[in-house]
Amino acid sequence: MIPFSSRTAATRDDWQTPLHYIAALGPFDLDPCANIDNPTRCAAKGFTIDHNGLAREWRGRVWLNPPYGGIAPAKAWLSKLARHGNGVALIPPRVGARWFHDVVLSTADAILFLKGRVAFIDPAAQQPVKGNNADSILIAYGAANVMAFEHCGLDGMLWKLRPAQAGAARNARP
C-alpha cells in the first residue's frame, strides 16, 4: 500500500473507488466524477474532469465519488445527485456542517455509515492507499439504492432517513 500522506496537492482529489464497493452495490449507469484514465471503471458511462459532469445531463443510476476538495464542490455534486434522485454517493461524513444538513439529511433516503476507513486506489500505481484519516459514508437516493444498501453485505450501520419512493426526485436546497 502507498502511504496516504504521500499525495500531493495536484493528486489529492484524484482517487479511485475500491471496486468491491461497486461489486456490492452496482451496476451503475453513470459516474459523473470518473477518473480520466479509466472513465468506465465504476459505471457503464463516465464523465471525467474534461467533460464537466456537473454541467452534463445525468441519466440512470449514478455512482458519485466526488472530489473532496472543499465545501462548494461537495455541495454542488450532492445537490445535483439529490435532484436526479437515483444514485449512491461516497463521501466523508460532515454531519455538523450546514451544507450536510441542507443537502444530505434533508434529501437522501438512507445513509450507510461504513465501518473502518476506505483504502482508496491511487490511479497511477493502481494500489490501495493506506492511512486515510477520514471516515466515509454511502448516501442513497431512491428506493432501489436503499434496497441495495440493505442487501450489499458491506460492513456498517444503515440509517433510513425517510421512506424511499421509486423514481421520485427531490429538490435539494441550494
Q: Is residue 112 part of a domain?
A: yes
Predicted confidence at residue 43, as pLDDT, reads: 98
Residue 109 included in any domain: yes
Q: Which three cell numbers stand for residue 87?
A: 444514485
Answer yes or no: is pLDDT of 19 > 80: yes
Structural domain contains residue 173: no
Share of the chain above pLDDT 90, in %: 68
Instruction: Please check whether residue 44 lies inside any domain of the structure.
Output: yes
**Which of 103, 100, 106, 112 minimizes the C-alpha distance to 146?**
112
The verdict on residue 170 lying in a domain is no
pLDDT digits (tens, 9 = 90+) for 41-94: 999 999 999 999 999 999 999 999 998 776 678 899 999 999 999 999 999 999
In a domain, 174, yes or no: no
Does pTM surpass 0.75?
Answer: yes
The CATH number of residue 151's host domain is 3.40.50
Q: Which domain holds residue 134?
A: 2-160
- How many structural domains are present in the chain? 1
- Residue 76 domain-assigned? yes
Q: Does 81 map to a domain? A: yes
Q: Residue 46 phi/psi, 5° resolution?
A: -135, 140
